[in-house]
Structure 1
Amino acid sequence: MPNEKEKYFKNYKLENIPDDSRKGYKRIYKYIGNYYSFDISATDIKKTKFLFLFLEIVSTLVFIFTALQKNPINTNRLCIIPALITICLWIFEYVAVGFFCFVKFPLKEEDYKRINSTFYITFICRFLLLLITSIVSFILSINFSLGVNGILIFFGYLLCSIIALFLKIQYKLLNSKLKISSN
């Protein structure tokens, strides 16, 4: 079974380039693997990057506003546990979105695989966890007659869940236009 170093270097070839050093050459690794890009214009890629970053920020702000509401819903274990796991997922998601927004295209194979796997896992898990949280908050709001504040919390968690699903769908649509090119 290959280790991480072997997996990484399978897409690289060692070359000796003439140099003015004492040895007379410099050793560099040249990338020989596949490149991944999307078959859309550069402006559409910029719009997609902005959309992803904007929706991540909006979703985070809505989540923070909702989670900080003083209400028995936000102290219930059935809401706290999925919300805390969601926060952990958000950390990975922000790293992936940041990497996606600031990386140069075309992507190297390992960069694409890192973004792709992180997006799929975090978007789906965050959608499901926030959907569970919103359903629990709705049930608690009705059972304990928590009024407008309880319904506001329900809609906040639901909106965060919908944004995660929307981002997953947008990424899937973007991935449907994937273009793989060899070196």
Structure 2
Amino acid sequence: MKLYIKNMVCDRCKMAVEQVFSKLELNPANVVLGEVELKEENLPQLKYQELKQALEKLGFELLEDKRKTTVVQIKAAIVELAHYNKEPLKVNLSEYLSKKLATDYASLSNLFSVEENNTIEHYYIQQKIEKAKELLSYGELTLSEIAFQLNYSSVAHLSAQFKKETGITPSQFKQHLKRNALDRV
């Protein structure tokens, strides 16, 4: 049985969700961003409600609506790609998402736009800019290295998108260092 959880967008989130499951004596077979696979086929209604309430106390939402579930899967795939993938994307974003979610991209794109009032492409850019902010705040990589790591064609392209999204240049950001939580993007 798969459960989809809104706002589970980082490794700390996964740990918090795993602790909730452990406290409720539920043993997930697999936990990935936005999704928990249980060994059990069904949860008793009382246990399901306990789980739902425990997750809500931590700012997570157990999703029941198929449309919202798909949006969470899209977001999780993009967060994984932008923040945790070490290899450059070998196909375009639409092919990546279509294959990962086994759904045609037009349907995914339309659904995401309606539910989020944002495009998939813009959400991906927002996530890449948040990753750039993270890397800039560490001060270990040059802007050129960050652009390469985030699969930008040039430093100028990264800088232009960064300024468009944040209103400041990467250099100005380094002076102020203000990042957003991934679930707030």
TM above 0.5, one fold? Answer: no
Q: Higher relative contact order at CA 8 Å, sep ≥6: structure 1 or structure 2?
A: 1
Which protein is richer in helix relative to its size? 1
What's the TM-score bracket when you normalise by the shorter of the two chains? Answer: under 0.3
- TM-score, structure 1 as length reference: 0.23
TM-score, normalised to structure 2, is: 0.23
